[in-house]
Amino acid sequence: MKPEALITQKKRSMENATKFLIYCIEIYKTAHKLNGKQVIELFNQNGISEYLVRCYGALHTTGPEYIIADINGLIREKEEGG
């Protein structure tokens, strides 16, 4: 694969992961009746944004209920000292 193609592929992958992160913020915000700022702060405090981007490949094929439950579990685990 040519270097230009690799750059384009990586750029497209990051764009998709960013769009997915925004989608996750929106569904979490709606599910928990929070505003965007509150969700971003919560995600930042618990490393959720990085997790969602890192695991985009697996998570983007799941439904919103699974994603919300996964995020809730990660936050709960962090609060319990995990």
| 43-79 per-position pLDDT tens digit | 999 999 999 999 999 999 999 999 999 999 999 999 8
* Structural domain total, the chain: 1
Within-domain flag for 70: yes
List of E strands, the chain: none
Hey, is 33 helix, strand or coil? coil
pLDDT at 14: 85
The span from the CA of 71 to the CA of 32, in Å, is 12
| 6-22 per-position pLDDT tens digit | 678 778 888 999 999 99
Within-domain flag for 29: yes
> Residue 38 is part of which domain span?
14-79
Within-domain flag for 66: yes
Averaged pLDDT for residues 36-48: 97
Within-domain flag for 9: no
Within-domain flag for 22: yes
The span from the CA of 50 to the CA of 30, in Å, is 20
Contact 36, 29 (CB under 8 A): yes
Q: pLDDT band at 39, cuts 50/70/90?
A: very high
The pTM for the full model equals 0.86
Within-domain flag for 5: no
